[in-house]
C-alpha cells in the first residue's frame, strides 16, 4: 500500500510497541496518524514526542475496541489500520473471560469495522505465543500451534478470524508474530522481558541479579523500534495476506542476557539462581527470513546495543519507571 498522504489509525498506539509504531509512521510522508487507545496499559508519556508532530493526534471520543460505535467512527476516512490492542499474557492467564472479550471479541470488532469502512490494509499484532514451546531450533511460520495459554489461544483465534475475513470480504493485510519485544518505555508486565527491569532494580540496590531455573531458557529478543519499523513495512507491502515472524532469529538464554546486562553496567555481582516459578515457554526463536523476503523488513539493533538503549532510557526516566514498577504491585 502506498502510505504517502495516507491516514493511519493505530489501535493501542499508546503502548510500548504502539508508540514506536506511531513514531515510525511519522517518519514517513503520511497525512495523519490517529491513536486509538483506552490507556489501560498505554500512557500519554509514551506519546509525548509523537504528539509534537501536528499530523498526530489521540482520538478524542474514546479508544476502547469493545465500544463498536466509537471504533467505527474512528475508522471513518482511514486508509490503513494497525491493531495492537490486547490484554497481555499474565492478565489473560488470570482473567480468561476478559481475555476472550478484549482479544477475541475486540479483534472481531476491529475486523468488522475495517470491512465496513473499506480499510485498504490491516496490520494485526499476533504473537510468537501461537507457537508455544518450539518443536524446532528456529521456527518458520509453518511451525505447528503448540500453545497452551489463554493469551496464545486468543492470538490464534484472531489470526483465523482475520483469515476468514480476508477470504470472505477481501480484507487485505498481514499478521505479525512478534518474538520477545523489549526496549525504551517497557514496563514490568511483559512475562519474559520484565526480567530485564528486575535485574536492573537489583543492581541499583547492590543486590545480585536473580535468574529463575538454570538460566538456559532461550528466547528471540528484538528491540522495539525495529518492531515499530516492521509495522510500517507491513503496511507498505503489497502482500495480500499472510503471517510473519518479527524477530532476529538469534537464540539468547536468560543467563546470557543477564551476563550482557552485567557487562554493560560494569557490575561484578554473581548471578543468583533460584527455583523456577511460573513459566509458560522455555525455548522459542523465530526464523525472520520470510518477513525479510515479503515485507522488506530486516532487524538493525543487536541485543547488546538494545540493552544499552534500554538502560539509558531507564536512567533518564526513573519517575516513569517507578510508576510502572508500582503498577505491578497493586
Which pLDDT score, from 0 to 100, does residue 187 have?
Answer: 82
In this predicted structure, the answer to whether residue 137 has a pLDDT above a threshold of 70 is yes
Give the rounded distance of the alpha carbon of 76 from its chain centre. Answer: 25
Cα distances from 113 to residues 5, 21, 92, 167, 256, in angstroms, run: 22, 21, 24, 16, 44
Give the range with max mean pLDDT: 136-140, 188-192, 274-278: 136-140
Cβ contact 61:103 at 8 Å = no
Which pLDDT score, from 0 to 100, does residue 160 have?
Answer: 98
Q: Which domains does the chain have, with CATH numbers?
A: 7-182+222-247 (3.40.50.720)
Which pLDDT score, from 0 to 100, does residue 325 have?
Answer: 66
Which pLDDT score, from 0 to 100, does residue 31 have?
Answer: 98
In 3D space, the residue among 183, 170, 191 whose CA is nearest the CA of residue 230 turns out to be: 183
Q: Which residues are catalytic?
A: 151
Cα distances from 190 to residues 34, 146, 182, 317, in angstroms, run: 25, 20, 9, 18
Alpha helices in the chain (DSSP H): 16-26, 68-75, 89-94, 96-99, 106-116, 150-169, 194-204, 224-236, 254-265, 289-295, 303-316, 318-327
Cβ contact 124:80 at 8 Å = no
In this predicted structure, the answer to whether residue 303 has a pLDDT above a threshold of 80 is yes
* H/E element, 218: strand 218-219
In this predicted structure, the answer to whether residue 239 has a pLDDT above a threshold of 70 is yes
Residues 46, 247, 135, CA angle at the centre, nearest 5°? Answer: 130
pLDDT in tens, 42-52: 999 999 999 99
Mean pLDDT of 283-301: 97
pLDDT in tens, 208-228: 999 988 999 999 999 999 999
Mean pLDDT of all residues belonging to the chain: 94
Which pLDDT score, from 0 to 100, does residue 192 have?
Answer: 65
SS3 124: strand
Residues near 108 by beta carbon (within 8 Å), at least 6 away in sequence: 161
In this predicted structure, the answer to whether residue 324 has a pLDDT above a threshold of 70 is no
Polymer length in residues for the chain: 330
- Return d(Cα 203, Cα 269) in angstroms, integer: 8
Which pLDDT score, from 0 to 100, does residue 262 have?
Answer: 97
pLDDT in tens, 153-196: 999 999 999 999 999 999 999 999 999 999 999 987 666 678 89
Amino acid at each position: 500500500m502506498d502510505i504517502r498522504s495516507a491516514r493511519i489509525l493505530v489501535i493501542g498506539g499508546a503502548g510500548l510497541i504502539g508508540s514506536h509504531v506511531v513514531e515510525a509512521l511519522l517518519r514517513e510522508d503520511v497525512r495523519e496518524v490517529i491513536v486509538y487507545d483506552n490507556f489501560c496499559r498505554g500512557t500519554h508519556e509514551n506519546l509525548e514526542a509523537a504528539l509534537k508532530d501536528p499530523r498526530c493526534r489521540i482520538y478524542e471520543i474514546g479508544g476502547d475496541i469493545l465500544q463498536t460505535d466509537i471504533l467505527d467512527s474512528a475508522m471513518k476516512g482511514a486508509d490503513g489500520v494497525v491493531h495492537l490492542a490486547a490484554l497481555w499474557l499474565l492478565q489473560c492467564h488470570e482473567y480468561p473471560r476478559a481475555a476472550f472479550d478484549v482479544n477475541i471479541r475486540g479483534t472481531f470488532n476491529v475486523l468488522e469495522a475495517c470491512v465496513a469502512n473499506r480499510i485498504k490494509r490491516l496490520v494485526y499484532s499476533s504473537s510468537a505465543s501461537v507457537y508455544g514451546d518450539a518443536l524446532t531450533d528456529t521456527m518458520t511460520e509453518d511451525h505447528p500451534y503448540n500453545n497452551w495459554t489463554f493469551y496464545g489461544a486468543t492470538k490464534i483465534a484472531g489470526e483465523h478470524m482475520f483469515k476468514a475475513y480476508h477470504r470472505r470480504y477481501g480484507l487485505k493485510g498481514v499478521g505479525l508474530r512478534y518474538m520477545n519485544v523489549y526496549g525504551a518505555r517497557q514496563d514490568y508486565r511483559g512475562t519474559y522481558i520484565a526480567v530485564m527491569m528486575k535485574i536492573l532494580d537489583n543492581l541499583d540496590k547492590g543486590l545480585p541479579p536473580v535468574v529463575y531455573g538454570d538460566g538456559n531458557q532461550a528466547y528471540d529478543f528484538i528491540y522495539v523500534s525495529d518492531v515499530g519499523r516492521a509495522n510500517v513495512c507491513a503496511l507498505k507491502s503489497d502482500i495480500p495476506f499472510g503471517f510473519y515472524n518479527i524477530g532476529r532469529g538469534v537464540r539468547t538464554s536468560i543467563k546470557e542476557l543477564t551476563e550482557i546486562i552485567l557487562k554493560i553496567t560494569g557490575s561484578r555481582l554473581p548471578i543468583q539462581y533460584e527455583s523456577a516459578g511460573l513459566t509458560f515457554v522455555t525455548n522459542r526463536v523465530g526464523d525472520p527470513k520470510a518477513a525479510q523476503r515479503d515485507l522488506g523488513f530486516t532487524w538493525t539493533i543487536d541485543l547488546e546495543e538494545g540493552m544499552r538503549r534500554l538502560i539509558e532510557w531507564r536512567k533518564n526516566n526513573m519517575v516513569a519507571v517507578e510508576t510502572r514498577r508500582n503498577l505491578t504491585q497493586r
